[in-house]
Amino acid sequence: MKDNLNISAPVIEAKGLNLVFQTSDGPVHALKDVNLTINKGDFVSFIGPSGCGKTTFLRSIAALEHPTGGTLTVNGMSPDEARRKRAYGYVFQAAGLYPWRTIAGNIKLPLEIMGFSRAEQDERVARVLDLVELAGFGKKFPWQLSGGMQQRASIARALAFDADILLMDEPFGALDEIVRDRLNEEVLKLWARTGKTIGFVTHSIPEAVYLSTKIVVMSPRPGRITDVIDSPLPKERPLDIRDSREFIEIAHRVREGLRAGHADD
Amino acid sequence: MRSILPVVTVVLIIVALWYAAAVRLNAPWVYDQAERAGAPAPGFGQLLGETMDQERPVLPTPHQVVTELVKSTFGMAVSSKRSLVYHGWVTISATLLGFAMGTGLGILLAVGIIHNRAMDLSVMPWAIASQTIPILAIAPMIIVVLNSIGVQGLIPKAIISAFLSFFPVLVGMVKGLRSPDQMQLDLLATYGASKRETFWKLRLPSSMPYLFTSLKVGIAASLVGAIVGELPTGAVAGLGARLLSGSYYGQTVQIWAALFAAALVAAVLVMAVGVIEGRVLRRMGMVR
């Protein structure tokens, strides 16, 4: 995991990336000519309507989809190699905790597969539970936790094996607004404490603007990037930053980008 | 305990109907006897008395069946050939062995089906075809064929049991092992998990509720298989043998007692699976 000695090197780099799904209705261009560079420590949000390829792009980084053209490197490697080097943790829209495992047992799942020793598993579980503020919940079963706590546990699971990159696919999409605000704050804290590079797919403009250092606006048919906004907001972001003029301006630009993407449908 | 009243009511209605049917069905014999003796046709009171405790009734009355059941269960040494405990145990041991074999076979085939496309396409039609064969037709063949290669006793009956019980387990386990959704499979893929790890850590635990549902059907089917397997063997022991000898000698009371014993055994076996299911799933945190 200490392969990326050159810190200024991009963590994720896509050049002319294309992905075409062959469906029974003919080919679907999920990603078209996507060029994007994500640097170490960036918090990048992908926003756009359904079918714009934001999830497909995230899944391509995780080697869950395989691009049909162009190049995509993760830590300078192919996504498949990066997976073997445990370059990233992935958080899905649903927590997807195993009901037959305790919270600690769920967090141990990747550690067991990756062959960590028992002592190290316990040590890591304690550390990441603390990181997502679930210390003391290790012995509980998932159904004993609220939806927000379950999603925090799934983030802990993705953090447990110390990947430098955290990929999150609408992780809070199924949660209510209040829980979502809390978790957004916590993700920012987590990001500040761990210095990870985060890729975050969302439908929500405020969420994207509040969290990100870089906002990637995408549009559908074919899935492509229409705008990349580097956020001028400071790293320290209280919730009420969302009422500031700068925040509203960025949100406006994101909305314009989304509208422009739709205009040429 | 409010549910007791309706249950008792239904049982009482069934018992009453049963007695009524016994009077009706056993009456011809009473009339026949009276006619032969040259006596006048019996009145209703006499009819009622003489249909209750016939030695070979067309339909035995509930108390006859219960008396026979109790007598042949508790009133005999368990090693006696007239003890239902003895016959019951013979059948139960074949049932349990066949159930174990059928469950093992069902799980193995299911694992093959979900991992191998050729098996996926080919096994299920054969499995379904196997269940359309009337078990009564194939049971004697199995017994005869195995006997000719020197296999007798418990094993042939267990094989017939397994033949019936593997199917529900196969169907349930294919469904259960495929129950994890794409997201859960993707999650394991991001950890670089192998097929084997995916099986042990995700597919198998996910399939447990499906497995136990199948096991309940499977163990009842096993019991049917074991009893059917006892019918064509020349019948020396087992509930099936008891049924057969009862029908040879017109011992209807014995037949009904054996039928009730079989039903009780089935209920106990299914309940036992249910208890294990409850324990396992609670242990796994899958029931609250």
pLDDT given for residue B229 in this prediction: 87
Least confident of A52-61, A73-82, A255-264, B193-202: A255-264
Please name every residue paired with A169 in a beta bridge, in sequence order, or none if there are none: A201
> B206-230 pLDDT, tens per residue?
999 999 999 999 999 999 999 988 8
Q: What's the CA gap between A68 and A6, in Å, rounded?
A: 29
pLDDT given for residue B189 in this prediction: 92
Q: And the tokens for A223?
A: 């899935």
CATH of domain B84-283: 1.10.3720.10
A115 touches chain B (CB under 8 A): no
pLDDT given for residue A111 in this prediction: 95
pLDDT given for residue A2 in this prediction: 44
Q: What's the CA gap between B231 and B224, in Å, rounded?
A: 11
Among chain B residues, the shortest Cα distance to A79 is held by: B190
Measured between CA atoms, how close is B175 to chain A, in angstroms?
18
End-to-end CA distance of chain B: 23
Please name every residue paired with B55 in a beta bridge, in sequence order, or none if there are none: none
| Average pLDDT across chain B, whole number | 90
pLDDT given for residue B235 in this prediction: 58
For residue A90, give the nearest of B190, B208, B288 by CB distance. B190
A62 CB neighbours in chain B (<8 A) are 190
Q: Across B88-152, where does the E strand assignment appear?
A: none
> A179-231 pLDDT, tens per residue?
888 889 889 988 998 889 999 999 899 999 999 999 999 988 888 898 899 98
pLDDT band at A1 (very low <50, low <70, confident <90, very high): very low
Nearest 10 degrees: Cα torsion A98, A103, A106, A108:
-160
A41: left (phi over 0), alpha (psi -120 to 50) or beta: left
Does A66 have pLDDT greater than 80?
yes
pLDDT given for residue A3 in this prediction: 47
pLDDT given for residue B165 in this prediction: 94
For residue A110, give the nearest of B191, B286, B288 by CB distance. B191
Task: Check CB contact under 8 Å for A113 and B190.
Answer: no
Question: Bigger pLDDT: B103 or A261?
Answer: B103
Pairing of strands A43-47, A26-38: unpaired
pLDDT given for residue A240 in this prediction: 85
Does A264 have pLDDT greater than 80?
no
Measured between CA atoms, how close is A46 to chain B, in angstroms?
20
Among chain B residues, the shortest Cα distance to A103 is held by: B285
**Mean pLDDT (whole number) for B45-61:** 88
A141 CB neighbours in chain B (<8 A) are 285
Chains A–B, number of C-beta pairs less than 8 Å apart: 52
pLDDT band at B286 (very low <50, low <70, confident <90, very high): confident
For residue B193, give the nearest of A96, A100, A113 by CB distance. A113
ipTM of the complex: 0.86
Question: Bigger pLDDT: B255 or A235?
Answer: B255
B282 touches chain A (CB under 8 A): no
Does A9 have pLDDT greater than 80?
no
For residue A64, give the nearest of B189, B205, B284 by CB distance. B189
| Average pLDDT across chain A, whole number | 88
Return the percentage of chain B with pLDDT > 90, whole number.
60
Among chain B residues, the shortest Cα distance to A159 is held by: B191
For residue A100, give the nearest of B188, B285, B288 by CB distance. B285
> A143-174 pLDDT, tens per residue?
999 988 999 999 999 989 888 899 999 998 88
Every domain of chain A and the residues it spans: 1-87+165-265, 96-162
pLDDT given for residue A236 in this prediction: 83
Measured between CA atoms, how close is B193 to chain A, in angstroms?
6
Class of domain A1-87+165-265: alpha beta
Residue A19: φ, ψ to 5°:
-145, 120
B205 touches chain A (CB under 8 A): yes
**Mean pLDDT (whole number) for B69-75:** 89
Among chain A residues, the shortest Cα distance to B203 is held by: A98
> B17-51 pLDDT, tens per residue?
999 999 999 999 988 888 898 888 888 888 888 88
> B183-202 pLDDT, tens per residue?
999 999 999 899 999 999 99
B182 touches chain A (CB under 8 A): no
Does B1 have pLDDT greater than 70?
no
Does A255 have pLDDT greater than 80?
yes
